[in-house]
Amino acid sequence: MARMMLRVLSTALAGAALTAAAVPAANAAARPGPGKGLDAKVQERADKLVADGAPGVIVMTRRGGRVAHVTAGVSDKATGAPMDARLLFRIASVTKTFTSTVVLQLAAEHRLSLDDTVDRWLPGLVGANGNDGSKITVRQLLGQTSGLNDYTPDPRVMSDPSRSWKPEELIAIATEKPPLYAPGTGWNYSNTNYILAGMIIEKVTRHPVGTEFQRRIFTPLHLRHTSYPTTNPGFPGPYVHGYYYDYGDVSTAISPSSARTSGGIVSTVDDVARFHRALFTGRLLPAKQMREMRTVRPVNDDGVVEDYGLGAARIKFSCGYAWGHDGGFPGYRTWTYTSADGRRQAIVTYNESKYEYDETFRADLAKTTETAFCG
């Protein structure tokens, strides 16, 4: 499930300056011994992912009031610093659920309608090569049914990794190609939709998206380790180093401006879990908007079968359904799962992109997520 620019990086990245913030030798999570149930099972799965090649892995689990963290491997291959569940990482397309939440809050406040067209808020922006913003609704953006092409596979996006992209430039790339289908008649995963959603948030509120994230989500939920950088490729604190194929450590090589409201947030496993628990148990949206978010359609995205709603997906496990979103950004991959009652959660993240389509790794990842959510 390619969520953010996981397929191609230009050779320009090889020459990009890679800065390395010091990662303290923080206390890694205690490795559970035999007989400790879920933690031991999850530890075994996390260790297997490292054996498969991932430099490091974090798995957070919740069972009711009990939260546990399991780590394996390293957060920084250069120093050998162990993986630590408190470290920051790029949550990539998990950002989409934050973006959708803000849009749905604005709908609940009657400041926009999900049936508004893109042209209603961004007149003329989507109009080239048969793309028509007058026929695409906000709902279709959030549900990935607009028919717009994804801008991220275009080699220009990564030809200069440190470049600061403007949202309008990303939309222009996407609309160089004709739409894949008439709006509302198909489904394709496109980061373009969520760049437009972020632009609409700013047009409606007259505030930067980061300001709306902060006052509507980060501050009320006390997400103290969550931030929304737009152009700065650095991290505001100790972080997980991310690795991309032969390019090595790309943690601070790529401007988040190429992701923005489709994938730009930096966070921790605990903050991500706190947000999802609040959202899916109804603390952030009224019932009507929760129904909109949870109105799903079955999709197959890069071989992963799920039910996609408005910025959130429903995933079937042996123990029932989970809600969440996954995300990938060069060097980072994250999978999130929360039960509808919030009593069961699993967050899995690791810091290497090259196993995205490795069959052995993906099979072991599936076992890890099943154990973490259901075990």
Q: How many other β-carbons are positioned within 10 Å of the β-carbon of residue 296?
A: 16
Nearest to 68, CA basis, from 250, 305, 269, 248: 269
Tokens of 185: 């008649």
CA 295 to chain centroid, in Å, comes to 20
pLDDT recorded at residue 201:
98
Per-residue burial over 234-257, b if 16 or more Cβ lie within 10 Å, else e, is ebeebbbbbbbeebbbbbbbbbbb
pLDDT recorded at residue 16:
39
The total of structural domains in the chain comes to: 1
pLDDT recorded at residue 196:
99
User: What distance separates the 2 farthest-apart alpha carbons in the chain?
Assistant: 62
Range of the domain at 56: 36-374
- Alpha carbon distance 123, 200 (integer Å): 11
Nearest to 32, CA basis, from 71, 89, 84: 71
Tell me, what CATH number does 201's domain have? Answer: 3.40.710.10
Q: Is 93 a residue of the active site?
A: yes
For 157-168, how does the pLDDT look when each residue is reduced to its tens digit (9 = 90+)? 988 899 999 999
Residue 246 within any structural domain of the chain:
yes
Residue 115 within any structural domain of the chain:
yes
pLDDT recorded at residue 32:
42
pLDDT recorded at residue 303:
77
- Alpha carbon distance 274, 276 (integer Å): 6
Residue 17 within any structural domain of the chain:
no
Residue 92 within any structural domain of the chain:
yes
CA 55 to chain centroid, in Å, comes to 20
Residue 232 within any structural domain of the chain:
yes
At a CB cut-off of 8 Å and minimum separation 6, what does 293 contact?
100, 101, 104, 285, 309, 310, 311, 312
Report phi then psi at 39, rounded to 5: -60, -40
pLDDT recorded at residue 26:
35
pLDDT recorded at residue 35:
44
Separation in Å, CA 114 to CA 98, 195, 202, 233: 16, 16, 16, 33
Cβ atoms of 331 and 244 closer than 8 Å: yes
pLDDT recorded at residue 36:
62
- Annotated active-site residue in 10, 75, 93, 190: 93
Q: What is the mean pLDDT of each run of 10 residues along the chain (375 residues)?
A: 44 37 35 66 98 98 97 98 98 98 98 98 98 98 98 92 96 98 98 98 98 98 98 97 96 97 98 98 98 96 89 97 97 98 98 94 97 97
Residue 133 within any structural domain of the chain:
yes
For 249-304, how does the pLDDT look when each residue is reduced to its tens digit (9 = 90+)? 999 999 999 999 999 999 999 999 999 999 999 999 999 999 999 999 999 887 78
What is the length of the chain? 375
Residue 25 within any structural domain of the chain:
no
pLDDT recorded at residue 325:
97
Residue 10 within any structural domain of the chain:
no
Share of the chain above pLDDT 90, in %: 87
